[in-house]
Chain A
């Protein structure tokens, strides 16, 4: 019968959210929900950044005003930065769970087939996107760390030499005037698009959202989302590199 590839039911007894997360089906629920949270962030982030295309307001770049407004979100109900940090914490937690679930399910899947097929495999349904989820994810993660060092933390040499806190527009133009940074950005966005091509379809299955009348829409949704996120983000560094935004 083979040796168990994961913990047994007895070992999994715990308060229900913990027990749920210990199961692989539960981890897929968590991956899907954290995936949706990250998707919402990515869209919000992208739409916010489109402000680089807007004209200055009283000599101040529109996006700098927007960035300041984010720090003052929900002021005076909450002190400055608090609302932003609540959102950031949620996002960090979502990333940690998403990555932990991906990591531990990948190990489980390797244990489930310790000896691979010796002849060549012919796949009929599994596609490039679905078989490279962990690679597209890891490429994106590498980019994310670079991106934070570049524009959020201003760490050299990731950040441009002229980097200054709060000068969002100037930092933006400075960083994307460097062709290799733009190239890495585009590679990461293509990886994210590929991740979402499968992920934004797969999450419906993981969440048990399945209805014969609407199932065919799930693939179109994933294609549209992947295209929106990839193109919508890629146009910004390209606009800087080719001098449309300066």
Chain B
């Protein structure tokens, strides 16, 4: 395959950026998008040019490190797929592909396609955990969890924190990420003790860095794990209840 890439190049946060055009030929349709970028970088390095910086780690769709805007879509045109799992066969031979970093105030640019997603860590630190003595592992199935609950919590827990929801959202909102992280704990018995403080704190830290949800639903379509915006409704419901809850009765 021969393709034309239009890639955002920017040396650093305060440096001017712009698109640069690269012709890449001899690409195999079986390559992943990141392997295609590797091929480009190898050629750039051989010419003595600066390779394109991009984030990646597992390359099997589970770590959440990768993620770029491909032709105006977060993680590209294939739904439910991270950039590392997107293959070049999804594109036409001779296509021009535009590649941009995630753009959001909460995700400042570091270099080229790499952004700083540590605002997500701030949200997790605000309550994305349960406080327990780890000790030795408890017996399996000690705490009964109904199957639909376990399945739903698992769907939320599938979030890999890549930031595609923020990138895709026309408002730069992080509600899908935050809702998924809140819900996978709030749904389960183990998450109940801290349910209301978690919801309040995580929502409020989220709002320090990101925009506000207007229910476009763009995040759900961009999510490589296809996490549903149903979780956003759950979060909205829990946020009001957190404000009203008689905290003395939390353990009931």
Contacts and interface: CB of A to CB of B under 8 A. Distances in A.
B215 A201 contact: yes
A6 B208 contact: yes
A24 interface: yes
The main secondary structure of chain B at its interface with chain A is mixed
Contact of B105 (A113, A119, A120, A127): A113
B56 interface: no
Interface string B192-230: 000000000101110111111111111011100000011
A202 B201 CA distance: 24
A95 interface: no
Contacts of A124: 73, 79, 218, 221-222
Given A122-B73, A124-B73, A112 B173 contact: yes
Range of interface residues on chain B?
Answer: 35 or more
A206 interface: yes
B94 interface: no
Contact of A23 (B207, B210, B220, B232): B207
A111 interface: yes
A46 interface: no
A24 B207 contact: yes
Contacts of A113: 103-105, 171-172, 211
A206 B213 CA distance: 9
Nearest to A102: B214
A12 B172 CA distance: 21
Contacts of B207: 5-6, 23-25, 108
Contacts of A232: none
A26 to B, nearest CB: 7
Given A25-B235, A29-B240, A119-B72, A4 B209 contact: yes
Nearest to A198: B215
Contacts of B106: 1-2, 5, 112
25 contacts: A1-B118, A1-B122, A2-B104, A2-B108, A3-B105, A5-B106, A5-B209, A5-B210, A24-B211, A24-B213, A29-B240, A105-B214, A108-B211, A119-B69, A122-B72, A123-B216, A126-B217, A127-B216, A131-B216, A205-B232, A206-B236, A207-B237, A208-B233, A208-B237, A208-B238
